[in-house]
A = this chain, B = another copy of it.
Amino acid sequence: MPDSEGHPAVDEIELGAVLSALADPLRRRVVRELTAAPVGTARTCSSFALPVSKATVTYHFRTLREAGLIRQVDRGNSRAATLRRTDIDRRFPGLLALIAAETEAVEAAGTAEAG
């Protein structure tokens, strides 16, 4: 059973939920940035500057949290998100590497690749 904040235990992390969570480019971007950051990095939701409203950001972070990809810890005023690296690596070894390796061509749509 997930804890009071909605974090599933390691054994409760389901592949389906993880893949669904990672199917969204915005959520994949969050996980990618977290994966690229030093281990243990904690960032606030707003620090990712996602191009959506505050409410939508909350929604995406909840999805990531309930899938078991991130852990959100209270930090007084705000709430910092950390990657559940160890847990994910144990359940799905190699998955984070795949996400990290993605080069987001879509976001650079403004710059012509063949230019």
Contact = CB atoms under 8 A, between A and B. Distances in A.
A99 B102 CA distance: 19
Given A94-B93, A94-B98, A98-B94, A16 B20 contact: no
Given A20-B23, A23-B23, A15 B94 contact: no
A6 to B, nearest CB: 20
Interface string A74-99: 00000000000000000011110111
Count of this chain's copies in the oligomeric assembly:
2
Q: How large is the interface on A (under 10, 10 to 19, 20 to 34, 35 or more residues)?
A: 10 to 19
Contacts of A92: 98
Contact of A94 (B16, B19, B25, B97): B97
A70 interface: no
Contact of A28 (B16, B25, B94, B97): B16
A69 interface: no
